Amino acid sequence: MWAYDAIHTDRDGDYVWVNNNGFARKTAVVIGTEYKDGAAILQGLSEGDSVILNDEPIQEGQKIVPQDRKAVPYA
């Protein structure tokens, strides 16, 4: 389950931000079951992807400086 803070939606659908070698990459995802505190992501992430948890705006290609528990590896 992923916190709603990690999941975003725009006109193209649902997505998360992934840390791609120190840079933000917008990654489309398919959401499954939704819960009170988050939702399951059924498609779009690969093992080892680090999802960025951030409440500030992020832009494609933005340099990412990981902080404690701000990038969570997908397993």
- The residue-averaged pLDDT of 57-75 equals 73
Buried b (16+ CB within 10 A) or exposed e, 4-28: eebbeeeeeebbbbbbeeeebbbbe
What is the domain partition of the chain in residue ranges?
Answer: 2-63
Instruction: Please give the angle made by the CA atoms of 18, 38 and 36, to the nearest 5 degrees.
Output: 170
> DSSP class of residue 62?
-
Closest residue by Cα to residue 4 from 30, 28, 38, 32: 38
CATH fold for the domain made of 2-63: 2.40.420
pLDDT in tens, 8-49: 999 999 999 999 999 999 999 999 999 998 999 999 999 989
Higher model confidence: residue 65 or residue 14? 14
Closest residue by Cα to residue 26 from 48, 5, 38, 8: 8
